[in-house]
Amino acid sequence: MTMASLAPVLLVLLLAIPAKVHGATLTVGDSSGWTQGTNYATWAASQTFNVGDSLVFTYTTLHSVDQVSKDDYDNCNTGNAIKSYTSGSTTIPLSTAGPMYFICPTSGHCSSGMKLAITVGSSSTSPGSSPSPPSTTTGTTSPPPPNGNGATSVFGVGNVMLGLSSVVATVIALVC
């Protein structure tokens, strides 16, 4: 088989590789963004969150985003934020499986419902499945410990597929 006759086969292989290499980008509150008057519990229940996805918070200068512990989420405590964001457009990568909690620290906003609780599933969660939402029980709990050492694999499926795509494209370019 000559290189010229391999080109159609390689093209078919390239087209067979799934286009989704990276996780989903989820805009919190959809077109409403991060603002008062949106039911974030309902919004979160309609979403699936997995490691590799990203949350995008869009908001005005009247708001900001604090990542908090479950206890601070339950009590709308703004004094112990794990991380605070004020840029007006914040992208938060979901890099660890488990619960995550966010509130608006502007006075009265969290208590009026401007808060979000999600559970991030592992990236191996099958499509169409939805991890269970965070527990709403009250009580003092500490945030979950990080999984492993926080390192991610360089040889993840997405990177292997991206590399394979590059090799196939290069071979096709050389043959043609």
Segment 58-112, tens digit of pLDDT: 999 999 999 999 999 999 999 999 999 999 999 999 999 999 999 999 999 999 9
Domain boundaries, the chain: 22-131
Q: Does domain 22-131 have CATH number 2.60.40.420?
A: yes
Count CA atoms within 13 Å of residue 22 on its CB side. Answer: 7
> Does residue 26 have a pLDDT over 60?
yes
Q: pTM above 0.85?
A: no
